[in-house]
Structure 1
């Protein structure tokens, strides 16, 4: 039996009319499709913000240590100190 590859559903990107106009004009004058322009722009933007992305991932991983307290912190936005101040959590 051969496994069939899972097809990824494309989602529409909703932007305001002014941004859509910029995308349309940029794509036209660069000879790209709107889809290709947006994809390339996102790749470039994320490359330029790589350090910000890394810092965000590190921060998220520090919160997710596998404990019940970290789950509560993530879901509620409370700090460990705030949780402890209201009685803490029995692990």
Structure 2
């Protein structure tokens, strides 16, 4: 028996009025929907920042060592010393 994956739910993207105006105008003059313009813009932006993304992922993975403390450090942004200062973590 295989589980059927539920399709991802679409959620609204909230932007400030000035950005919404830019998106609306850009989409209109490019003959795109606002949704398509934003999707393409995000793809292009992330492609341009690919190296920055890679560096961020490598940094995040270097923190993880399989311990609960490393998970907490990554999720909270706290250092090991800060976690120890508030009582530490029972592994």
Deviates more, 1:14-23 or 1:66-75: 66-75
1-structure distance, mates of 2:76, 2:19: 34
Q: Taking structure 2 as the reference length, what is the TM-score of the superposition? A: 0.79
- How many residue pairs are counted as aligned between the two chains? 90
- Determine the structure 2 residue equivalent to 1:32: 32
The TM-score normalised by the length of structure 1 is 0.79
Q: Work out the CA distance in 2 between the residues paired with 1:69 and 1:85.
A: 10
Instruction: Tell me the C-alpha RMSD between the 2 structures.
Output: 2.6
Larger Rg: 1
Q: Which residue of 1 aligns with 2:42?
A: 42
- Distance in 2, matches of 1:37 and 1:77, equals 33
5+ unaligned residues in a row in structure 1: which ranges? none
CA distance in 2, matches of 1:26, 1:36: 11
Give 5+ residue unaligned stretches, structure 2: none
Moved over 4 A (4+): 1-5, 83-91
Report Cα offsets for 1:28-78 as digits up to 9, x if no partner.
000000000000000000000000000010011111110133124224433
